[in-house]
Amino acid sequence: MVMSKIEILYTKAESNSEFVLLYKQPSVLVGRTDVVSVTPWLAPIVWVKTFDPTLINFIYKQQNITIATTVFALGKYTRFLKDFLESAEQYYFVGFRVHYYLFTDQPEAVPDVKLSEEHQLTVRKVPSMDRWQDISMGRMGILEKLTKSELDNDTDYIFCLDVDTKFYGPWGAETLGRLVGVIHPWFYDYKRTKFQYERRPESQAFIPVEEGDYYYTAAAFGGTVQEVYKLTKTCREQQSIDAAKSIEAIWHEESHLNKYLLYNKPSKLLSPEYLWRHIDIRRKHVKMIRLSHVAKNNAEVRLNN
Ligand code: UD2
């Protein structure tokens, strides 16, 4: 049989009435070589053309999974919700069960976006806060509570995403894993000594200059519900210890996330395709932009500076 494009055929074989699965043969010799697609601890780093999306989505489809997805929009950040949700409906886990949990201080400002049949949205009201840093860090405690006991029983995986983002390409089952980190779009080609980890030993987020694997973004992370519970609980606890000592890590919860992922290695890493700088910025290794930050004027959109 000649296949003009990669396709999955799930049919009854004529010979023995067993089901067969047909798709392009994988190769051990031919594949993408311009980027590294595995970590030193053998976790995949996901880039376009290192996997077959049709095949992966097909495999996970059999498992009837649900993916919780959290997003926070407080203060003026509610303005990002429309683009975020509309673009997610176009590209994010299309055909899979997704339950968005949207945390906001203004439920009345949540736009009415038409969701596909498999996707649902729950809006949860949270108190307003005065400092954007507290909003950003406070997410860890709210996510800890959510993942501990407040999710639907059938939830398998969860992703936690920044709201000032927009999808431009498919984000599917290739991103699923036990503990998933996303490589930060600004630092992926930096030496570890230049990563903006917290360098003050007094902080719980401290990472010595000679340590570090990658610099991960806090704008997107995920995994199984149990793993994300452990991650968010630890980060919340570490932030509280710092607060009691009047220390705030350089990049807030992102610094604590980086500390956690250094000593609790992610089982899968997503390349900067999965959280890019801006749709108009291009770099040769990033051949597809799936989710990107949108431009924002921090001074105008934040409550404080
Ligand atoms: C970086 C991180 C972000 C977070 C922050 C902490 C990247 C790409 N992003 O982004 O994840 O770690 O640094 O320093 O690494 N929010 C509101 N209302 C506000 C302020 C924030 O809802 O008034 C929420 C919202 O979901 C937003 C998130 O908090 O997406 C992070 O805030 P940010 O996007 O302003 O942080 P930023 O761009 O410095």
User: Which residue of the set 174, 248, 254, 273 is catalytic?
Assistant: 254
Active site residue 89: no
Atom of ligand 1 nearest to the CA of 218: 11
* Spatial separation of the C-alpha atoms in residues 112 and 106, rounded to whole Å: 14
pLDDT at 12 over 60: no
pLDDT at 79 over 90: yes
Atom of ligand 1 nearest to the CA of 275: 8
pLDDT of residue 10: 54
* Spatial separation of the C-alpha atoms in residues 37 and 34, rounded to whole Å: 9
Longest dimension (CA), the chain: 72
For residue 168, CA distances in Å to 83, 291, 294 come to 11, 6, 11
Q: What angle do CA 237, 243, 244 make, to 5 degrees?
A: 95
pLDDT at 266 over 70: yes
Instruction: Give ligand 1 pocket residues (Cβ under 6 A).
Output: 72-75, 77, 132, 135-136, 162-164, 184, 217-219, 251-254, 302-303
pLDDT at 8 over 60: no
Residue 22 confidence class, pLDDT cut points 50, 70, 90: confident
pLDDT of residue 88: 98
List Cβ neighbours of 83 (8 Å cut-off, separation of 6 or more).
166, 294
Residue 150 Cα to chain centre, angstroms: 20
Q: If you measure from the C-alpha of residue 102 to the centroid of ligand 1, how many angstroms do you get, rounded to a whole number? A: 15
**Three-class SS state of 286:** coil
Read off the pLDDT of residues 143-187 as tens digits, 9 standing for 90 and up.
Answer: 999 999 999 899 999 999 999 999 999 999 999 999 999 999 999
pLDDT of residue 4: 37
User: What's the rounded mean pLDDT across residues 217-246?
Assistant: 98
Residue 114 confidence class, pLDDT cut points 50, 70, 90: very high
From the list 222, 293, 291, 290, the residue with the least C-alpha distance to 51 is: 290
Q: If you measure from the C-alpha of residue 268 to the centroid of ligand 1, how many angstroms do you get, rounded to a whole number? A: 23
Pocket test for ligand 1, best of 134, 162, 275 (most atoms within 8 A of CB): 162
Nearest CA to ligand 1 atom 11: 219
pLDDT of residue 6: 46
Crossing angle (nearest 10°) for helices 253-263 and 225-244: 120
Atom of ligand 1 nearest to the CA of 257: 12
pLDDT at 13 over 60: no
pLDDT at 24 over 90: no
The structure tokens 């203060």 sit at: 75
pLDDT of residue 20: 73
Q: Say whether pTM exceeds 0.85.
A: yes
